[in-house]
Structure 1
Amino acid sequence: MSVNYFWDERLMNETESRAPTILAIGDSWFWYPFYGGSLINYLGQAVKSKDHFIFAIGMNGAEAYDYIDGKYARQVREALKGYRNKLKAVFISGGGNDFAGFADLRPLLKSDCSQEDDPQACFAAKPGLDEFFAAVDDHYRRLVGLIHASTRSDCVVVMHTYDYAIPNGRGVFGDSWLKPALDDAKVKPHLQQECVKLLIDRFAEVLESICESDPEHFRLVDSRGTLAPEHWANELHPTPQGFQKLVKDQWRPVLQEAGLAA
């Protein structure tokens, strides 16, 4: 088996004569289209020694809502139904896009943060971070509940926290996701990274709580603080070396503990 990860189901079926053993439901961290690939390229290498192969569904820009009620909900359900008896694990990458991008991040910030010196104070009371992350928590819990109900009892769900993205305005094809909203809200430059860190930490708390609810089936890859600035290709996505480092340093130990990697 030369390649053990697929994003195209038709190509997978033409190439392989068996069902995938790992389903990867994800956003651009699983679908990043540029040279060097995404997490999936390196996760495929990590699980290859255990004779696993991965089928990825979702797409760049996917939000947690999309997997359970939105544009990829049908695809998720069909994949779980179709491959349920063979799946040993489901990987999830989602939630980052829920607060990335001007339309997502800007409403979370106050109209004018120019007088604030605390990152927490830069966020608006309405909708409020508690309400926002309660919605993310609900989408995730419904998704992992669906996975748990649709797969074998030994299937493991692996989630991850991303890392502390750098709001430097670097984007793809002229678009960036974090700095425009922070600048529009007049967040002081030295607080912008702290605002992003706060969001990632709150997201990690959501995932930690979910994993604590069923440690037998749920695993968390806590990749916060793994990447140095040179490991970021742009505001949201690591370089190939960054993705590789995340898998080597953070994903592989979790996968080994779960029996999915050597």
Structure 2
Amino acid sequence: MPIIVSGEAMGNVFWSDSAMMMEGRYPSILAVGDSWFWYPFPGGSLINQLGELVETKEHVIFALGENGAEVVDYVAGKHSKLIRKALKLHGPSLSAAFISGGGNDFAGVNDLRPMLNINCSTAKTPDDCFRPGTDDRTLEWLMRKTAENYEILIGQIMAATGPDVPIVLHNYDYALPTGKGVFGKESTWLRMALDDANVPLALQAGCVRLVIDKLTAELVKLTQIDPTRILLVDSRGCLEPNQWANEIHPKPAGFKKIAVTRWQPVLQSLSLAG
């Protein structure tokens, strides 16, 4: 049985290279991600569920990133050196790479609020709530910036790995702006920004859907860099409202549902899962 080190390893998923070294194991899948790969609470994150799926093919996952990571952190921020180091050490022997990013680029009152109009109380549609144009801190600006950083990371992975190694992206699900945070505390992710902008309650979920749909459109464009190698797991519309633990994280059963119903078919098509 693999050693389980709290916060560092669980089964075939490692968040620490030292924990991997202790067990004498080497990664076959590199997972670069945010809290959907790092969520520390009971039941774990999406990556725990993916670990179970790929374990049937004897794969080992090494996760880099952290809770709250933005895509820029992977290529020009605090995780960029570790990611480049991991790609240099393990790239030639990897069977796949997974990327989870973009959610924290908009999910936060300091990120979402500047993209909204000053007062959205008279808005009729979610589009009406967002500042128009492509200037700094608009939604279009955010999507462009996120896509550019994704493209840099994808390029680094493609350069460091074999020509047939797949890169799997995902787009989360339609998060619910309930105001619910961790342990029942008030969240500062979505609802707070929407309320501050006086977005009508009836439009708030639609605003989040709009952002997720725009992120998805950017990810689809990225798959066109190499459609045979870059794949998108579309998990929109997977979860029921009662399967969310808080505004932006599913419950353990929710993560499992996304893994089994949306990720597993893709992983099976790549011979990464049984």
Q: TM-score band (shorter)? A: over 0.9
Matching of residue 218 in structure 1 with residue 230 in structure 2 = yes
Name 1:91's counterpart in structure 2: 98
Question: SS where residue 90 of structure 1 aligns?
Answer: strand
Mapped contact 1:167–1:179 kept (Cα < 8 A): yes
Pair 1:171 & 2:181 matched? yes
Q: Does residue 121 of the first structure (1) align with residue 143 of the second (2)?
A: no
Q: Find the aligned partners of 1:101 and 1:39 in 2 and give their Cα distance.
A: 21
Match of 2:7 in 1: none
1:67 aligns to 2:79 (yes or no): no
Distance across 2 between alignment mates of 1:131 and 1:196: 16
Q: Structure 1 length normalisation: TM-score?
A: 0.97
Question: 1:22-171 residue pairs with structure 2 within 5 A?
Answer: 22-125=29-132, 126-127=135-136, 128-171=138-181
The unaligned stretches of length 5 or more in structure 1 are none
Aligned-residue CA RMSD in angstroms?
1.0
Asked if residue 14 in structure 1 is aligned to residue 26 in structure 2, the reply is no
CA distance in 2, matches of 1:215, 1:50: 24
Aligned equivalents of 2:154, 2:186: Cα separation in 1:
32
Secondary structure of the structure 2 residue equivalent to 1:225: coil
Given that 1:4 and 1:44 are in contact with CA atoms closer than 8 Å, whether structure 2 keeps it comes out as: yes
Deviates more, 1:77-86 or 1:122-131: 122-131
The whole-number CA distance in structure 1 between the counterparts of 2:79 and 2:233 is 23
1:66-116, Cα deviation, whole Å (9 max, x unpaired): 000111111110111111121111100000000001000001100110111
Give the aligned residue type for 1:86: S
Supply the AA of the counterpart residue of 1:130. E
Shift of 1:154: 2.1
Q: How many residues align structurally?
A: 261
Residues in 2 aligned to 1:48 and 1:105: alpha-carbon distance in whole angstroms:
37
TM-aligned CA deviation for residue 150 of structure 1: 1.0
Query: Aligned AA for 1:72?
Result: H
C-alpha deviation, 1:129, in angstroms:
2.0
Say which of 217, 232, 252 aligns to 2:244. 232
Q: CA deviation at 1:175?
A: 4.4
What's the CA shift for 1:201? 0.2
Residue by residue over 1:23-70, the C-alpha shift from the partner in whole angstroms, topping out at 9 and shown as x without a partner, is 100000000000000011110100011110101010000001100011
Structure 1 runs (4+) greater than 6 angstroms displaced: none
Q: How far apart are 1:258 and its partner, in Å?
A: 1.1
Instruction: Provide the rounded CA distance (Å) in 1 between the counterparts of 2:144 and 2:256.
Output: 31
Unaligned runs of 5+ in 2: 3-10
Q: Report the TM-score when normalising by structure 2.
A: 0.93
Q: Compute the displacement of 1:130 (Å).
A: 1.9
Counterpart residue identity of residue 177, structure 2 = P
Once the two structures are TM-superposed, the CA of residue 195 in structure 1 deviates from its matched residue by: 0.1
Distance 1:13 1:37 in 2: 22
Aligned to 2:5: none
Percent identity between matched residues is 51
Aligned equivalent of 1:246: 258
The correspondence for 1:261, drawn from 264, 267, 273, is 273
Match of 1:205 among 212, 217, 220: 217
CA distance in 2, matches of 1:50, 1:12: 18
Distance in 2, matches of 1:143 and 1:61, equals: 17
